[in-house]
Amino acid sequence: MARQISTRSSRSPIPVIIGAGITEQWYFTHLRNLLDLRIKIRPRFFGTEDIKQLDKKISQVVNEGSIAICVFDTDTCEFNPTEKKKIDDLKKKYSGKRNVVLCDSLPSLEYWFLLHYADTNKYFASCHAVVQELKKYIPEYKKSELFLQTPKWVADMTLEGKLETAVARSKKFEGLGGSYSNVHKAIDIMFQAK
Give residue 6's pLDDT.
44
- Type of residue numbered 153: W
Give residue 4's pLDDT.
52
- The answer, yes or no, to whether residue 144 has pLDDT greater than 70, is yes
> pTM here?
0.89
In whole numbers, what is the pLDDT of the chain averaged over residues? 89
Spell out the residues 6+ positions from residue 99 whose beta carbon is closer than 8 angstroms to its own. 13, 62, 66, 67, 68
| Side-chain half-sphere CA neighbours of 33 within 13 A | 13
Give residue 183's pLDDT.
96
Instruction: Please state, in angstroms and rounded to a whole number, the distance separating the CA atoms of residues 17 and 176.
Output: 26
- The answer, yes or no, to whether residue 151 has pLDDT greater than 50, is yes
- The answer, yes or no, to whether residue 191 has pLDDT greater than 70, is yes
- The answer, yes or no, to whether residue 5 has pLDDT greater than 70, is no
Instruction: Please state, in angstroms and rounded to a whole number, the distance separating the CA atoms of residues 93 and 157.
Output: 33
Q: What is the dihedral of CA 117, 15, 182, 25, to 10 degrees?
A: 60
Instruction: Please state, in angstroms and rounded to a whole number, the distance separating the CA atoms of residues 190 and 142.
Output: 26
Give residue 8's pLDDT.
43
Instruction: Please state, in angstroms and rounded to a whole number, the distance separating the CA atoms of residues 37 and 67.
Output: 14
How buried is residue 145: exposed, middle or buried, by Cβ count under 10 Å (0-12/13-18/19+)? exposed
